[in-house]
Structure 1
């Protein structure tokens, strides 16, 4: 075969291949099946079953290589503080009510009922060992919009523990809160208000802000319903954080005092709510 004839045949086969490729694209758009053979494209009827929509070739290039979901946001960073927050920021006459040491099936439901009656949100700093028997109460807190914070597992004096023990107390509690409440806690409070550098560092590593209090009702001393209510009402001011208890002993006085001072605060124009995190 001469050189010119060989070149002509190669060009002819190349044109046929290009034409066949175009036919395949057109057939796919039309919803038919095309097979390319040695003698050229052969078209047949569509296969039975649902047909996929044609996708432009450029669409494949737009898909991310690692997956189809949105890119992950960078993790939010928590500052290591040197002291706990004692007040919260907010517009107008904003206050925060907090309850420690629970949940307790004897008193926590009454606290939640009173808060629900006045459509108020509060914070509950819970102990991990108490959550083990009160998971339903944490689920209710989540449903009703309350914030659950970390108050360690067994309520120890953290400043006397090693870093390993401190982390265990806090991390185990965060785990059980996430399981019962649905989210990991973003706030923690040291038992007895005893803080040190290790506590602040480990809390920040676990993604939590330290929150103290402005007004201590001292309700754990059972001073009487009127005394507890008076301490809250006299200490009321914008940004104030009130400390009470819903567990750790007989908290019936705390429950009755809440029923007394909560409507008084609302009638005085206070907005009782929960704080928001401010990330670095």
Structure 2
């Protein structure tokens, strides 16, 4: 399948899933956050398919030594089954979460990590297993720099159209790759296209993952222009919001440039940008 055809198919899936995502986002739930910036929904845009993955597998990204491959860690135990995803975080002050979906991509993710490091800010990356498998060193870097890595399935399918067995496979394969590269299994899950159902919530809970959606959608996957992305995030900024952006799935140069503009502005406005933490 050609790249343009793949993107059209992804966008068609998005249109079909929009109602599901809106229904799943009808309520809100609380979420603990880390108290320090140095403590270590969806997504609406299309995700890279196998052809895109093949173009992103230079040996330099596959042969780097990985961190976190020492003693094995215990797999997260089951968590309670939710009926809707978490949309906001609770806590004191002007606290926000920045999240990035669909990566890691060696063309854009390193630039995002560089900007976050420049301002000593931590973020959450919901990675697709097929991308993470080719770019495990980027997950290792995320671990080294205190970011949180969440599960965004293996191939970014519309889960509500899959059998329970295939949903489990999409989740488990991705968690396995994250554990090998990041050092521990993920505690957070985000459904592609923001499409949730009972099976997704149940399986995520069985694997010890909480469902995290978003409050502010930058819609950066539509490449609306750097200024538009900045305006959407700055106008949506408020205590407790979760911002959705992307570091893969297409040309994300606008997302990279936008982060360089809105991140220092949010900090100047007194926002504390942190990562989720389980109680």
- Equivalent residue number for residue 273 of structure 2: 272
Q: Hey, what's the Cα distance between the residues in 2 that align with 1:275 and 1:186?
A: 10
Q: Hey, what's the Cα distance between the residues in 2 that align with 1:171 and 1:239?
A: 30
Q: Report if aligned partners of 2:152, 2:189 keep a CA contact under 8 Å in 1.
A: yes
Q: Hey, what's the Cα distance between the residues in 1 that align with 2:188 and 2:77?
A: 14
Q: Hey, what's the Cα distance between the residues in 2 that align with 1:230 and 1:78?
A: 37
Q: Aligned-pair distance for 1:90?
A: 2.1
User: Is residue 170 from structure 1 mapped to residue 175 from structure 2 by the alignment?
Assistant: no
Give the secondary-structure state (helix, strand or coil) at the position aligned to 2:126.
strand
Aligned residues: 205
User: Is residue 210 from structure 1 mapped to residue 211 from structure 2 by the alignment?
Assistant: yes
Correspondence 1:1-280 to 2 at 5 A = 76-278=77-279
**CA deviation digits over 1:136-194, x for unaligned, max 9?**
00000000000000000000000000000000000010001000000000000000000
Q: Which has the higher contact order (CA 8 A, sep 6+)?
A: 2
Q: Which has the larger radius of gyration?
A: 1
Q: Hey, what's the Cα distance between the residues in 1 that align with 2:90 and 2:163?
A: 33
Give the secondary-structure state (helix, strand or coil) at the position aligned to 1:132.
helix
Q: Hey, what's the Cα distance between the residues in 2 that align with 1:102 and 1:228?
A: 19
Q: Hey, what's the Cα distance between the residues in 2 that align with 1:201 and 1:91?
A: 30
Give the secondary-structure state (helix, strand or coil) at the position aligned to 2:134.
coil
Q: Hey, what's the Cα distance between the residues in 2 that align with 1:157 and 1:76?
A: 26
Q: Aligned-pair distance for 1:91?
A: 1.7
Q: Report if aligned partners of 2:101, 2:152 keep a CA contact under 8 Å in 1.
A: yes
Q: Aligned-pair distance for 1:241?
A: 0.2
- The gaps in structure 1 that reach 5 residues or longer are 1-72
Could you state the TM-score of these two structures normalised by the residue count of structure 1?
Answer: 0.72
Could you state the TM-score of these two structures normalised by the residue count of structure 2?
Answer: 0.72
Q: Aligned-pair distance for 1:77?
A: 4.3
Give the secondary-structure state (helix, strand or coil) at the position aligned to 2:100.
strand
Q: Report if aligned partners of 2:77, 2:207 keep a CA contact under 8 Å in 1.
A: no
Give the secondary-structure state (helix, strand or coil) at the position aligned to 1:242.
strand
Q: Hey, what's the Cα distance between the residues in 1 that align with 2:160 and 2:270?
A: 39
Q: Hey, what's the Cα distance between the residues in 1 that align with 2:267 and 2:93?
A: 13
Q: Aligned-pair distance for 1:135?
A: 0.5
Give the secondary-structure state (helix, strand or coil) at the position aligned to 1:89.
coil
Give the secondary-structure state (helix, strand or coil) at the position aligned to 1:262.
helix
- The gaps in structure 2 that reach 5 residues or longer are 1-73
Q: Report if aligned partners of 2:77, 2:206 keep a CA contact under 8 Å in 1.
A: no
Q: Aligned-pair distance for 1:76?
A: 4.9
**CA deviation digits over 1:47-93, x for unaligned, max 9?**
xxxxxxxxxxxxxxxxxxxxxxxxxx9x7541100000000112200
